[in-house]
Structure 1
Amino acid sequence: MNLKTTLFGKVYVFKDIKDLLAKANEEKSGDTLAGISAGSTAERVAAKIVLADTTLEELRKNPVVPYEKDEITRVIQDSINEEQYKKIKSLTVGEFRDFILSSEEAEIKSITDGLTSEMVAAVTKLMSNMDLVYGSQKLCNTATCNTTIGKRGTLSARLQPNHPTDNVEGIMASLMEGISYGIGDAVIGLNPVVDTIDSVSTILSKFNEFTTKWKIPTQNCVLAHVTTQMEALKRGVPIDLMFQSLAGSEISNRAFGINVSLIDEAYKLMSEKKNSKGPNFMYFETGQGSELSSEGHNDADQLVMEARCYGFAKRYNPFLVNTVVGFIGPEYLYDGRQVIRAGLEDHFMGKLTGLSMGVDTCYTNHMKADQNDLENLAMLLSMANCNYLMGIPGGDDVMLMYQSSSYHDIASLREITGKRAIHEFEKRMEELEIMKDGRLTGKAGDPSIFR
């Protein structure tokens, strides 16, 4: 296995595959904070040259966290389709990049179950932003809960009616406003302030009451800890989607209060007691840098650790996965340029892993980013065939205190791209005279129609 190259008369040597992957990553403040990033642009280019000649087999044999040490590594490695893996194991990462960019969807999907997360991350590091958009838009990953997300020609949105005190009237006011703008076809999903069984149950029941009364074809979720949702489900509370944040290592998942056994248990419970109809009923969120923040990155770069989140998520055939790309802060993604790059990387990796992938195009107020960066990323993702984005009142979350995409942004993106909401949802919006031919009407934005 070659781990060195000469560039402009200087020899660059990399310690191992983990070091090579880290040095080949695009500049990220999180990798710099961890002390594992390339020391110069020249070293980064040298790492990419060596990585391009590394085989997929070498990547499989060298996971960034050893098999015997980490259950996420075991989940990823044990899930590999060996026949698909045999087709591609001799390819170099550079050849794999060429394969993705030159092949049609069916050919790419014929080998995706043979990929480890390290392979997915490695090819991502060799791609430009346009490559990531071009590669992503080829892949159409659908999933079905109550409705089906991800069909070509659609752009869906999660309605996020957060409230700083979980006041039910305030939550429902935001929900009704969002629906009146044609938002919520992906999911109506609240981030709760209070993670108690009673509070979560009350909100879930209220969501179900509203969508049943108004015949809104969508999915409901309260993004509490998985154990809280499980207890609510045992009490008979209607849950369409079960949520949990995931990390790419056993250590960091422990910091989230979860492990593989617990998520397996949640999946089994949902399969028996879920309120939804379809086979896809799990919802996961991720984000570059979370493993470093919980001291569980195992000296691996944040892109590889993010790819491992998707390898973990794949085990449960989720309806939704999204990277909350700029939420953690400038310690991990310093500015708008890094956020845009990370959003495109995460989306591509999720799609290549086989997931129904969305992105929260967001940033925190202490980050060197602004609304233009957010909108640029949202437009690029819409071109990349992203399944869904966020819909938040005014694009300003009053509970989580960060900036994201608004109800109006989603409507604008649908018009710019010619994309539509999920069919059943759009049909109901037309019955309510909120939409016509996929576009908002003059009645849009008036929540009083639900009084």
Structure 2
Amino acid sequence: MAYNFTLRGKTYSFKDLKTVLAKATPERSGDVLAGIAAEDNKERIAAQYCLSEIPLKAMLNDLVIPYEKDEVTRLIIDDHDAKAFKPISSLTVAEFRDYLLSYEVDGTILKDLAPGLTPEMAAAVSKIMRNQDLISVAQKIEVVTKFRNTVGKKGHFSVRLQPNNPSDDPKGIAASIIDGLMYGCGDAVIGINPATDNPQEVSKLLKQLDDFRQQYEIPTQNCILSHLTTTLEIIDKAPVDLIFQSISGTEKTNSSFGIDLHLLQEAYDAGTELNRGTIGNQMMYFETGQGSSLSANAHHGVDQQTCEARAYAVARKFDPFLVNTVVGFIGPEYLYDGKQIIRAGLEDHFCGKLLGLPMGCDVCYTNHAEADQDDMDSLLTLLGVAGCNYIMGVPGADDIMLNYQSTSFHDAMYLRKVLNKRPAPEFEEWLLKMGIFDEQGNRKELKEQMLKLKS
């Protein structure tokens, strides 16, 4: 279906919804690289105006990737909840924005609405929202998940402790874990990107983590971020807590990752049978990121942010414990500078939460991007205000194995302090019991050192 909009005497024509969405996207280097971005700001504004007038229900028929060509599209359409969608079924994209921002619409209403929303609806409304709007709506939404502790409650903020090591050295990993725990990190998950996907080595790492967890009775969950097929190979032999996989928003991209919806279902069923959680059994962990479909030449002409939102439909299908967008990891070819990374992080968080997901974010950038740690401090703080469930905790914020810049244990302490947020409740009790934190959330040894200095 073609869409037209006249701006200052000039008529702009867009051949379909996919084109309108791409042209309406705030400037993004990846869309420029793909040849689908607006030619200039005038065309972008015209596309945003045009998009704002499109009825939400049109997105159930004008599909960005044909139903018969893509299993993610089929998932989106087949799982759409018409009853949940009914309260907003008559709205345009602009009216939906006003609805989301209204004071009367709270987190309970948005939770009930989530099954009725498609990723394209979430992406569309985000494209006509300011950063402030994205933050304002996202902070209304509470998505709580449970395994050995509770992540996502309002007033709480969690951290994935990421003790990566270039050679999977057990001592190096152990040192990073202890360091992170001393800063109150690790309540989301203690998760390692392994240097090798060898099943025997992954099993060894899982046993090391599980032995450590049990020795100190830590109420958290572990994960080795190996490929799904590796996890399935060892799932009956190793102490698997969370099951990890990178996912994307098109069938072709997921195929390039070596997965499909059937394999994800197999992993979900296997993890459910393990029943290793103590207070809940949500055990899937998904990572996403804008640009993955373009880098795999599998985007079908869909803009990278809409592709990203479609990945959340895949995640939503499997009731995950954690989801996070690794926002600046691919590089400046997709998100050129700090401004684009900040915008993308807020979009991803907003769309994920709106679709009912427990969203975290790896606030990160590569060293060849036009970004620095000040940009990451800004995004970190904005996401904290927006109600992000968790971030990464990397020693010194510098991942020496993956070669990118992320957030540190200290960054998590900063955010909890300035926004008065606490770790996951069960994990905070453990920190107090172990004498690591005091009742005010301060590290005890630092407080004692300050008192000694004053005396």
User: TM-score per shorter chain, which class?
Assistant: over 0.9
Offset, 1:291: 0.2
Residue 266 of structure 1 aligns to which amino acid in structure 2?
A
2:125 alignment counterpart: 123
Aligned residues of 1:23 and 1:44 also touching (Cα < 8 A): yes
Q: Paired residue for 2:359?
A: 357
SS at match of 1:410: helix
Deviation at 1:151, TM superposition (A): 0.4
> Over residues 157-184 of structure 1, what are the superposed CA-to-partner deviations in whole Å (9 max), with x where a residue is unaligned?
0000000111111111111111111100
Asked if the contact 1:36–1:299 (Cα under 8 Å) also holds between the matched residues in 2, the reply is yes
- 1:142 corresponds to: 144
Structure 2 Cα separation of the partners of residues 156 and 222 of structure 1: 18
5 Å matches for 1:55-134? 55-102=55-102, 103-134=105-136
Counterpart-to-counterpart distance in 1, 2:436 and 2:261: 43
Q: How much has 1:240 moved relative to structure 2?
A: 1.2
Partner of 1:336: 338
Aligned to 2:320: 318
- What TM-score results when the alignment is normalised by the length of structure 2? 0.96
Q: For 1:64 and 1:158, how far apart are their aligned partners in 2?
A: 34
C-alpha change, 1:444 and 1:296, in structure 2 (3 Å) is farther
Q: Which residue identity lines up with residue 254 of structure 1 in the other structure?
A: S
User: What does residue range 384-423 of structure 1 map to in structure 2 within 5 Å?
Assistant: 384-423=386-425
SS in 1 for 2:163: coil
Select 1:210's aligned residue among 212, 229, 244: 212
Correspondence for 1:250: 251
Q: Distance in 2 between matches of 1:438 and 1:152?
A: 17
Query: In 2, are the aligned partners of 1:156 and 1:185 still within 8 Å (CA)?
Result: yes
TM-score by structure 1 length?
0.97
Structure 1 residue 78, shift from structure 2 partner: 1.1
CA contact (8 A) 1:435 1:444 kept: no
RMSD (Å), alpha carbons: 1.3
Once the two structures are overlaid, the 10-residue window that deviates more, 269-278 or 200-209, is: 269-278
Find the counterpart in structure 2 of residue 449 from structure 1.
none
| Alignment partner of 1:198 is 2:200 | yes
Task: Report 1:370-389 matches (<5 A).
Answer: 370-389=372-391
* Distance in 2 separating the partners of 1:195 and 1:7: 54
Distance in 2 (CA, whole Å) between partners of 1:417 and 1:353 is 25
Q: Is the 8 A contact 2:327 2:361 kept in 1?
A: yes
Q: Is contact 1:157–1:388 with CA below 8 Å preserved after alignment? A: yes
Counterpart of 1:271? 272
Which stretch shifts more, 362-371 or 105-114?
A: 105-114
Shift of 1:265: 0.4
More off after superposition, 270-279 vs 420-429: 270-279
Q: Deviations over 1:33-67 (max 9, x none)?
A: 00000001011110010100001111111121111
Match of 2:8 in 1: 8
Which residue identity lines up with residue 39 of structure 1 in the other structure? Answer: E
2:452 corresponds to: none
**Which residue number in structure 2 is paired with residue 186 of structure 1?**
188
Q: Quote the offset at 1:349 in angstroms.
A: 0.5
1:57 counterpart SS class = helix
Q: Quick check: 2:322–2:358 contact (8 Å CA) kept in 1? A: yes
> What's 2:453 paired with?
none
In 2, the alpha carbon distance for the partners of 1:139 and 1:425 equals 22
d(CA) in 2 for partners of 1:444, 1:82: 54
SS in structure 2 of the partner of residue 439 of structure 1: coil
Q: Distance in 1 between matches of 2:380 and 2:372?
A: 13
* Shift of residue 87, structure 1, vs aligned partner: 2.7
Q: Percent of aligned pairs with the same residue?
A: 50
Q: Do the aligned partners of 2:327 and 2:363 also contact (CA within 8 Å) in 1? A: yes
Counterpart in the other structure of 2:451: none
1:206-247 deviation per Cα after TM superposition (whole angstroms, max 9, x unaligned)? 111111110111010000001111111122x11110000001
Q: Does 1:241 align with 2:236?
A: no
- Give 1:88 deviation, angstroms: 2.1
Give the distance between the partners of 1:110 and 1:268, measured in 2 at CA: 26
Shift of 1:274: 4.4
* Matching residue's letter, 1:246: I
Q: Could you tell me how far apart the structure 2 residues matched to 1:242 and 1:17 are?
A: 35
Match of 1:31 in 2: 31
Query: Which residue identity does 1:4 align to in structure 2?
Result: N
Q: Judge conservation of contact 2:64–2:302 (CA < 8 Å) in 1.
A: yes
Q: Which sections of structure 2, spanning at least 5 residues, go unmatched?
A: 448-455
Once residues 437 and 413 of structure 1 are traced to their aligned partners in structure 2, the CA distance between those partners, rounded to angstroms, is 17
In structure 1, what residue type is equivalent to 2:400? V
Q: 2:250, 2:310 within 8 Å by CA — same for their partners in 1?
A: yes
Give the drift of 1:7: 1.1
Distance 1:444 1:220, change over 3 A: farther
For residue 127 of structure 1, give the secondary structure of its aligned residue in structure 2.
coil
Give how far 1:89 is off: 2.2
The structural deviation recorded for 1:286 is 0.1
Task: Classify the secondary structure of the residue corresponding to 1:341.
Answer: helix
Report the counterpart of residue 20 of structure 2 in structure 1: 20
> CA distance change for structure 1 residues 196 and 274 in 2, over 3 Å: closer, same or farther?
farther
What are the superposed Cα offsets for residues 88-117 of structure 1, whole Å, 9 maximum, x if unpaired?
222100011111111212222222111111
Question: Matched residues in 1 for 2:6 and 2:253: separation?
Answer: 37
Amino acid at match of 2:191: G
Q: Which runs of 5+ in 1 are unaligned?
A: 446-451
The aligned amino acid for 1:28 is R
Q: What CA distance in whole angstroms lies between the structure 1 residues aligned with 2:422 and 2:369?
A: 32
- The farther-off stretch of 85-94 and 68-77 is 85-94
- CA distance in 1 between counterparts of 2:446 and 2:433 reads 12
Cα pair 2:329 2:366 within 8 Å, conserved: yes
CA positional deviation for 1:2:
6.4
Structure 1 residue 123: Cα displacement: 0.6
Return the alpha-carbon distance in structure 1 between the equivalents of residues 444 and 433 of structure 2. 14
Whole-angstrom distance in 1 between the partners of 2:304 and 2:372: 23
What is the one-letter code of the residue matched to 1:421?
P
Q: Which moved more, 1:260-269 or 1:427-436?
A: 427-436
